[in-house]
């Protein structure tokens, strides 16, 4: 039970914490249409400059365009509301499994090395690779900086994508990305579709357009999110939480787990036949 005095104390603490997290009056203000994007860029550029982002990178930000296609994609993610069977059919689950089994053999040395280093078996990595880009064939053609800047400006998930935008600007400053880098609609990059902040944290310094670097970085991501070697990764098992960290959509998580399992079990099933 909370007494009256404790309620007052809690309220004071809450107000103090809230006051410490409220954006200053001159912070860049989010919007819901293209109308305020140019003004927002001006405001955000001042904040980024104060955080040490270089002048050439600020110039690149100012040249970013409002990504109408990104906003449409962000509002239209209807496939995540499908059942698992519907989702697998729409995303070509059987094709991913068949292709994944073949790639598991042709990349056998790489996957052995990855599993020894990170404890992550081939199946979930191949499932992610196939689901994200059809094994590198569909990496997107959206300007990454414009996409991430648009989503940072958009009020729907402004805080989340503001972090991604600062990461993208930092990557441009370091020469890892350029103002012309292209990827998917939400700013994802490379064979397995890393967002800018994940590139900074888990990218291993590799080229994510290279399959080996991307798969190694993906295993690094999963390991950093609690993957335990030798444990299962289906719903309810120890490693499913790492798959959940990769993508927030429950149907996507279950699809990765199921496809990965069928890829990993392919050799055993073939041997039994």
Name the region of 210 (left: φ>0; alpha: ψ -120 to 50; beta: rest). beta
What's the rounded Cα separation, in Å, for the pair 47 and 26? Answer: 9
According to the model, what pLDDT value does residue 204 have?
A: 86
What's the rounded Cα separation, in Å, for the pair 250 and 232? Answer: 17
| Sequence-distant (≥ 6) Cβ neighbours of residue 239 within 8 angstroms | 222, 226, 227, 228, 231, 232, 233
According to the model, what pLDDT value does residue 147 have?
A: 97
CB of 118 within 8 A of CB of 219?
A: yes
According to the model, what pLDDT value does residue 4 have?
A: 39
Q: Which of 79, 100, 77, 102 is nearest to 89 (CA)?
A: 79
What's the rounded Cα separation, in Å, for the pair 158 and 173? Answer: 22
The first and second tokens of residue 174, run together, are: 């370091």
Question: What pTM did the predictor assign?
Answer: 0.85
Q: Which residues of 42-73 are buried (b: 16+ CB within 10 A; e: fewer)?
A: eebbebbeeeebeeebbebbeebebbeebbee
Segment holding 142, helix H or strand E? strand 142-143
Sign of CA dihedral 169, 174, 176, 181: positive
Calculate the CA dihedral of residues 57, 61, 63, 66 and round it to 10 degrees.
160
What's the rounded Cα separation, in Å, for the pair 196 and 174? Answer: 12
Q: Where are the alpha helices (DSSP H) in the chain?
A: 4-21, 37-50, 55-62, 68-75, 84-91, 93-106, 108-118, 122-133, 144-153, 158-173, 196-202, 211-224, 240-246, 250-264, 266-272
Sequential pLDDT tens for the chain (273 residues): 333 343 333 333 333 334 333 344 456 899 999 999 999 999 999 999 999 999 999 999 999 999 999 999 988 767 778 999 999 999 999 999 999 999 999 999 999 999 999 999 999 999 999 999 999 999 999 999 999 999 999 999 999 999 999 999 999 999 999 999 999 999 999 999 999 999 999 998 889 999 999 999 999 999 999 999 999 999 999 999 999 999 999 999 999 999 999 999 975 444 333
What's the rounded Cα separation, in Å, for the pair 233 and 243? Answer: 8
Contacts of residues 52-56 at CB distance under 8 Å and 24 or more positions apart, as own/partner, are 53/166, 53/169, 53/170, 53/173, 54/173
């Amino acid at each position: 039970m909370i007494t009256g005095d404790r309620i007052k104390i809690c309220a004071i603490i809450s107000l103090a914490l809230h006051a410490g997290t409220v954006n200053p009056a001159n912070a860049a203000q989010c919007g819901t249409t293209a109308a305020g994007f140019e003004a927002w860029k001006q405001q955000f550029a001042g904040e980024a400059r104060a955080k040490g982002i270089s002048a050439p990178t600020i110039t690149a930000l100012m040249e970013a365009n409002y990504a109408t296609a990104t906003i449409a994609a962000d509002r239209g993610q209807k496939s995540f509301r499908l059942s698992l069977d519907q989702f697998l059919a729409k995303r070509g689950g059987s094709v991913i499994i068949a292709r994944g089994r073949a790639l598991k053999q042709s990349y056998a040395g790489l996957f052995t090395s990855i599993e020894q280093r990170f404890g992550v078996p081939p199946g979930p990595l191949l499932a992610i690779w196939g689901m994200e880009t059809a094994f590198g064939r569909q990496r997107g053609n959206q300007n990454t900086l414009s996409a991430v800047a648009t989503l940072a400006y958009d009020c729907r998930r402004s805080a989340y994508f503001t972090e991604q935008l600062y990461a993208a600007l930092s990557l441009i400053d370091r020469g890892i990305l350029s103002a012309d880098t292209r990827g998917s609609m939400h700013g994802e990059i490379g064979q397995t579709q890393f967002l800018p902040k994940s590139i900074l944290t888990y990218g291993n310094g590799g080229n994510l357009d290279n399959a080996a670097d991307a798969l190694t970085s993906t295993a690094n991501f999963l390991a950093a999110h609690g993957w335990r070697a030798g444990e299962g990764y289906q719903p309810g098992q120890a490693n499913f939480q790492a798959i959940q960290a990769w993508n927030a959509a429950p149907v996507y998580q279950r699809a990765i787990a199921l496809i990965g399992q069928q890829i990993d079990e392919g050799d055993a099933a073939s041997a039994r036949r």
